[in-house]
Amino acid sequence: MTIAAFIVVIGAWAAGLVGLIGQGATAALLVVFFPVLCLGMMLWWTLGKGEDDLPFMGY
């Protein structure tokens, strides 16, 4: 899921940059998928260390 969110975030940014999709669509995709990417990376990083407790991310 983290990889898919990464692909969507980068794809939306690139498509918005070259004008394939509008600014509203770019913003909507980034608003929805950026938190998914952040949470997925935080969980992957934390669980890779073998810690039992999840730290507060503040997001």
> In the chain, which residues have pLDDT < 50?
none
Q: What is the pLDDT of residue 18?
A: 94
Q: What is the pLDDT of residue 1?
A: 73
Cα gap 17→25, rounded to integer Å: 12
pTM score: 0.68
pLDDT tens per residue across span 16-31: 999 999 999 999 999 9
> Residues for the chain: how many in total?
59
Evaluate whether 17 touches 9 at the Cβ level (below 8 Å): no
- Three-state secondary structure string covering the chain: CHHHHHHHHHHHHHHHHHCCCCHHHHHHHHHHHHHHHHHHHHHHHHHHCCCCCCCCCCC
